[in-house]
A and B are shown apart, each in its own frame.
Chain A
C-alpha cells in the first residue's frame, strides 16, 4: 500500500526544526499562513514571523529586505499569487541584486497549490505557469518535489545553500516515493527505477504516475528508467544525456503547461547534448477548471496527465526509435 503524506505539514514542521537550529531563519506570509502551515513557526518564534496580509508584492520585497540584512526568509503563499502576483518583485528585488560574488538575495520562496491538482478552487487558482516564469529568471533555482521526504530535505538544503530558491508544493497529500535515507542534491536527478528501453523524467506528483507507468510497461516487457527531476533548475544535464544515450528516448511529465516548463527544460538540454525523441506529458496550453478532490484524477485525465498517457507516450517513442 502506498503511503500518503501532506507536504505543507512537513514543510511547516521542518521550518520549526531549522528555526531552532538557525536564528537567521524567518518566515513571511500573506494571509495564508494557516494553509501553508507556517503559523506554528510564528507561535514559536513570534519575532521572526511576519504576516503582511494579502499583499504578495510586499511579501516578496520585505523578504528581500530581510535577506539583504543576512536573514534567511521563507516567503510562502499559494502558487497562483507567488509568482503569479509578483514577478517584477522576484526579478528586481530578489534575483537581480548581486554583490561580492553572491548572485541574488537569499530568499526562499515556497508555495503550495501548484498545478491542476488544486482542484475545487478552479482554473483561476491552478498555477500552470510557475515553472516557466521562475526558470527564466537568472539566479533563481527551481524545485518541484514529489513527496514529503523531498520537501523535508529540500527545505533543509534551502537553509544551507545561498541564493533565491523556488519550491512548489502540492495542495493534496502526495504518495511517498522516496526512501527515508534518500540523499538530495541541487542539480542532481534521482533514478528511481533503472531501465534500458526508454526514460521517464518526471517532477512533482507525476513522479508517482511515472512509476506506475513503468510498472505496467514492465508487464509488457518494456524496461523504463524513471528519474525524479525535482531540481528543474539547475537541471541534471549529465544524467539526462546518459539516459538519452542508454535508453534512446525520453518522456517528460509535469503538472504544468508543456510550454516553457519542465518538459521544455529537458528538451533544451537534450537537444544540445544527445538529441533523442522526446514526448511531453503536461497541460497542453489551456486552463484548468474546478474538480472536487475525488474528481482530481478525472481532471488530470482530461488534460492527458495519467500513467496511461505516460505509457502510451513511451510506446509512441519506441515505435519511432525502432
Chain B
C-alpha cells in the first residue's frame, strides 16, 4: 500500500482553505493551531480513522479527540471535507444557532469530545479506552493535545493513569508548535529548554534541547518523534504506534504554528486572531502555491543509487523522483521495480516514480508492490482503457496517479475524464531518456496553457516540471503553474544536495512572494500590498518582501 499522498495532500489544502473561510466569516477563531495540526488531521481523516459520516455514532468507529479544542476550525473543516455536513456550513462558525461552536461541541456530528477547557481530553480518551476494553471492542482512540496545553497538571495525571492501565488502543499526538497564547512555549513554561533570545528557530537547530519526549518516556509511554508536517512521517509513526502493544503511544510532532501561511508561521499573534477579509483571498492563493521538490536520483551515481537516495533524504527533499526507463519507450535503460524494492527501506520519503516504459499497464502492479507512492505513466503509451485500469489499480492501493506528456505531446482527449481525480501531471521539458539536457523554452507557454485548461476542468492535483529545471528557470516554472519540481543535475548532480534544495526553495519562495504581491495589488493596490507585507513580523520576511514589492514598483 502506498501513502495515499495526494489524497491526503489535497484534502489538507482544502481543509486549510475552509479554516480561513470560517474564521474570516466569524471574525474570530484560532488559525495558528488549526494549521499546525493540519497534516496530522489529514493523515487521520483520510488514511486511518474508521468512520461513517452518515452514522456518526457508529459504535465501532475510531474516536478522534481534539483536546486542544480552540483549534476547532481545524477539526470542523475536516469533518466538512469528510462529508459530515455541507462545506458551506463552515461560514456559520461561531455564529448564533450554528452547530459549529467556538470550541468542539456535540452539536456538530463527528465531534467526539467537547473540548475547550484545556487538559481534559487525554483523561476523557482514557475513559473511552477503558470502556472499549470492558466491551472487548477494537476501535482506536486518537487524541491531539497541545504543547501549551501540557502546562495543565491533569495531562500528566492522565499520562500516569494511561500507563498504569497499559492502554494500547490510545495514540496521542502532541502538536509541538512551540507557541501558546501569550508567547513562545519555552518562555511561558518550558517543555524542552528555556528559549534564550527571540529566535524560535534556535530550538529547531539542536535536537539535544528537545526534552518533552523524555518526559513522556519517563511516564512509561512509547514515544515517537517526527516532523508533524511530513505526511510520510506521520503515517509511519501511526503505523508504528498501532503495532505497539501493552503501552500507550505518543507522537511528538514538531510543527509550525500557522503552517503554510507565511505571515502566520511562528508568530504568536496568530494563535487566536482572524484574518482581515481583504487578506483572505491572498491567503487562499498562498495555500494554492505550496511547492514540492523531487530530486531525480538518476542524475547521480547510477552504480550507487542507495547513496543517492540517502543524499536526497539528507537534503530533506519532499519526494524522491525515480526515472524508470526500459530501453524501448526511451533508448536508455535505468532500473526497474526490483531496484525500487531495494531502495524502499532506506527512507520514508514518498517515491515519485516516473515510468518511461512501454505498456505500463502490464507492469504497474509490480511498482505498487515495490513501494511506490506516486506512479506516473506516459500518455503516449496509454489509451482510455489502459489508463483507466492503471488509475483503478493505483487508487485501490493508496498510490497517487500521475500522467506524463512529452515535449511534443499535448494532453490527449481521452485523459479529460480523469482530470478531476488525477493527482499529478508531468509536463516534460526535455526529451525523456537521459539526464543533463537543457530546458526547452517552449514548455513555459505550454505549461501556462495547460495550467489554465486544468483549472477549468477541476484539476485538484499538481503539475510537475521535469527536465532541465534549475535555479535560473525554476521561478518561471512556478509562475507557469508548476508546483512540483524535479531536480536532476541541478540537485543530485551537485556536490551538496541539501544546499541545492535550500536554494531551490528560496527561489520558489521568492516567486511565490512575487505572485502574492501581484495578487494583493490587483485586489487593493499599493495599500493592500503594504498592509499584507506589514503582517510579516517574524524574522526578515518583511524586508525581503518590501524589496520584491519595490522591484515590482508597488511600494
Query: A and B from one assembly?
Result: yes
**Are A50 and B120 closer than 8 Å at their CB atoms?**
no
B134 touching A47, Cβ below 8 Å: yes
**Given A55-B157, A58-B154, A92-B114, A63–B134 Cβ distance below 8 Å?**
no
Which listed residue (A47, A57, A64, A71) contacts B157, Cβ 8 A?
Answer: A57
Instruction: Indicate if the CB atoms of B154 and A57 lie closer than 8 Å.
Output: yes
Stretch among A3-11, A95-103, A201-209, A214-222 lining the B interface: A95-103
Question: Measured between alpha carbons, how far is A73 from B154 in the docked complex, in Å?
Answer: 19
92-131 of chain B: CB within 8 A of chain A: 105-107, 112-114, 116-117, 119-120, 123-131
Is B135 among interface residues, defined by CB-CB distance under 8 A?
yes
Q: A57 touches which one: B105, B123, B126 (CB < 8 A)?
A: B123
A33 at the interface (CB under 8 A from B): no
CB distance from B503 to the nearest CB of A (A): 50
How far is it, in angstroms, between the C-alpha of A99 and the C-alpha of B109 when the chains are bound? 9
Interface centre among A64, A65, A66, A98 (most CB of B within 10 A): A65
B-side contacts of A61, CB under 8 Å: 120, 123-124, 127, 154, 158
List the B side residues contacting A96 at CB < 8 Å: 114
Cβ of A88 under 8 Å from chain B: yes
| Chain A interface mostly | helix
Contact B135 A58 (CB under 8 A): no
* Residue ID in chain A nearest B114 by CB atoms: A97
Interface size on B, residues (CB 8 A): 30
Residues of chain B contacted by A97 (CB below 8 angstroms): 105-106, 113-114
Is B128 a contact of A68 with CB atoms below 8 Å?
A: yes
Residues of A within 8 A of B127 (CB): 61-69, 73
Task: Look across to chain B and name the residue whose beta carbon is closest to the beta carbon of A58.
Answer: B157
Known: A48-B134, A69-B132, A71-B131. A53 touches B160 (CB 8 A): yes
Hey, which chain B residues are within 8 Å of A93, CB to CB? 114, 117, 120, 123-124
Q: Is B128 touching A69 in the complex (CB atoms < 8 A)?
A: yes
B157 and A52 contacting across the interface, CB-CB below 8 Å = yes
B302 at the interface (CB under 8 A from A): no
User: Does residue B161 face the partner (Cβ distance < 8 Å to A)?
Assistant: yes
Quick check: is A89 within 8 A (CB to CB) of the other chain? yes
Using Cβ atoms and an 8 Å threshold, which residues of chain A touch B132? 69
Chain A residues with Cβ below 8 Å from B124 are: 61-62, 64-65, 68, 93
Of residues 42 to 90 in A, which have CB atoms within 8 Å of B's CB atoms?
A: 47-48, 50, 52-53, 55, 57-58, 60-71, 73, 88-89
Q: Are A89 and B128 in contact (CB under 8 A)?
A: no
**A–B complex contacts, Cβ < 8 Å, 13 sampled:** A55-B161, A57-B119, A57-B123, A61-B124, A62-B126, A64-B124, A64-B127, A65-B125, A65-B130, A65-B131, A92-B116, A93-B120, A99-B107
Given A57-B157, A68-B113, A71-B134: 10 more A-B contacts, CB < 8 Å: A47-B134, A53-B161, A57-B119, A57-B123, A58-B154, A58-B161, A66-B128, A69-B132, A92-B120, A98-B106
Q: Mark B residues whose CB is within 8 Å of A.
A: 105-107, 112-114, 116-117, 119-120, 123-135, 153-154, 157-158, 160-161, 165
